[in-house]
């Protein structure tokens, strides 16, 4: 199934993201996590690709296959094109096809030390995937602007339109801690005539190291309210984790009640977080999606 159909049939799509274990750890180390996440009944689960340049595509493909095959949950395989040529992408597409995976999150990837390769940006990858198979394609968007755009959201929205025109069926946003950035992006996308649904990426923050890493990688702003929580619970791990979950819940309740199309939860392979969030928003999800049925 093309995940786009979920957006056609539900008011609010709710999904999880996981990452494969590093190559020196057995792939099975993430199997229990998937099992625990599957019980929470997400609409789909996405699997990251080559995060930090250390994970090979087989693991993304294998885990995406496991999610579909064993748990009967739709999966979304991330794929980056940085440093790749068409021959390599063809092999990955073939592998995904063989394993029955229908949905790809098409990304450029971070430039780092790798040269660009045969694809200059995600738009070219999206177009290539659409021309070479019957895949549903998602793409990334950035409520605070992509780090290379230097917070120029207008420029990014122009690029977003190019991604939609290239064939992106829907978008998943970079994480953010202040919902006003996401609403701003939705307004700008609408003004630009973008019709594809935009899912909000939410990352519950569970420790200080993680926050520092996230901010340095994607440049997300930290609202005062959030900084106060961090300072207050800096040395109390469990309190910080639960305060992080509570903060994410507040974000999600606000977004869901404002009628956005979907929430994508960066679970960080932590079922405790996913369970807490899902159980607490269950009533909103069922209420919002029931309205559609009536």
Q: Tell me how far apart the alpha carbons of residues 293 and 45 are, in angstroms, rounded to a whole number.
A: 24
Among 33, 57, 75, 123, which residue sits at the site for ligand FAD (rule: CB under 6 A)?
123
Q: Which of 17, 74, 144, 164 is catalytic?
A: 17
Write down the least CB distance from residue 152 to ligand FAD, Å: 8
DSSP E strand boundaries for 142-182: 170-175
Residue 116 as a binder of ligand FAD (CB under 6 A): the answer is no
Residue 174 as a binder of ligand FAD (CB under 6 A): the answer is yes
Q: Point out which span in 83-91, 108-116, 128-136, 248-256 binds ligand FAD (CB under 6 A).
A: 108-116
Among 7, 44, 49, 170, which residue sits at the site for ligand FAD (rule: CB under 6 A)?
49
Query: Is 17 one of the annotated active-site residues of the chain?
Result: yes
Q: Tell me how far apart the alpha carbons of residues 260 and 197 are, in angstroms, rounded to a whole number.
A: 9
Q: Could you tell me which residues are beta bridge partners of residue 15? A: 44, 264
For 105, the token pair is 């999150």
For the window 196-235, what string marks contact with ligand FAD as x by the rule CB under 6 A?
-----x----------------------------------
Among 27, 116, 159, 268, which residue sits at the site for ligand FAD (rule: CB under 6 A)?
159
Element (H, E) at 54: none
Residue 177 as a binder of ligand FAD (CB under 6 A): the answer is no
How do strand 262-266 and strand 198-202 relate by DSSP bridges?
A: parallel
Q: How far is CA 71 from the centre of its chain?
A: 20
Cβ neighbours of residue 268 closer than 8 Å, sequence gap 6 or more: 19, 203, 206, 210
Among 66, 172, 194, 277, which residue sits at the site for ligand FAD (rule: CB under 6 A)?
172
Q: Tell me how far apart the alpha carbons of residues 185 and 103 are, in angstroms, rounded to a whole number.
A: 24
DSSP 202-227: E-----HHHHHHHHHHH-----HHHH
Write down the least CB distance from residue 84 to ligand FAD, Å: 12
Residue 267 as a binder of ligand FAD (CB under 6 A): the answer is no
Task: Taking the CA atoms of 207, 21, 110 and 144 in sequence, report the sign of the dihedral they define.
Answer: negative
For the window 58-87, what string marks contact with ligand FAD as x by the rule CB under 6 A?
--------------------x-x-------
Residue 109 as a binder of ligand FAD (CB under 6 A): the answer is yes
Q: Tell me how far apart the alpha carbons of residues 53 and 109 are, in angstroms, rounded to a whole number.
A: 10
Which of the residues are catalytic?
17
Q: In the complex, which residues of this chain contact ligand FAD (CB under 6 A)? A: 48-51, 78, 80, 105, 107-110, 121-123, 140, 146, 148-149, 155-156, 159, 162, 172, 174, 201
């Amino acid at each position: 199934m093309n995940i786009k159909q979920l957006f056609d049939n539900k008011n609010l799509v709710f999904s999880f993201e996981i990452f494969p274990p590093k190559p020196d750890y057995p792939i099975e180390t993430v199997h229990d996590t998937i099992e625990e996440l599957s019980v929470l009944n997400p609409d789909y689960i996405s699997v990251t690709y080559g995060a930090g340049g250390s994970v090979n595509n087989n693991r993304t493909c294998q885990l995406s296959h496991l999610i579909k095959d064993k748990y009967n949950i739709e999966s979304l395989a991330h794929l980056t094109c940085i440093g790749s040529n068409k021959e390599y992408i063809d092999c990955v597409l073939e592998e995904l096809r063989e394993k029955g995976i229908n949905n790809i999150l098409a990304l450029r990837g971070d430039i780092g030390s790798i040269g660009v390769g045969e694809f200059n940006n995600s738009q070219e990858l999206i177009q290539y995937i659409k021309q070479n198979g019957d895949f549903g394609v998602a793409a990334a968007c950035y409520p605070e602007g992509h780090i290379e755009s230097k917070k120029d959201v207008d420029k990014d929205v122009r690029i977003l339109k190019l991604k939609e025109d290239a064939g992106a069926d829907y978008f998943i946003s970079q994480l953010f801690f202040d919902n006003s950035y996401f609403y701003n992006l939705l307004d700008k996308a609408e003004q630009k005539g973008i019709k594809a649904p935009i899912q909000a990426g939410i990352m519950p923050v569970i420790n200080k190291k993680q926050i520092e890493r996230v901010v340095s990688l994607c440049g997300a702003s930290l609202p005062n309210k959030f900084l106060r929580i961090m300072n207050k619970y800096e040395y109390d791990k469990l309190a910080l984790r639960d305060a992080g979950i509570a903060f994410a819940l507040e974000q999600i309740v606000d977004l869901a009640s404002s009628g956005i199309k979907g929430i994508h939860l960066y679970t960080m392979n932590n079922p405790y977080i996913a369970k807490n969030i899902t159980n607490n928003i269950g009533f909103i999800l069922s209420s919002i999606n029931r309205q559609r049925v009536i």
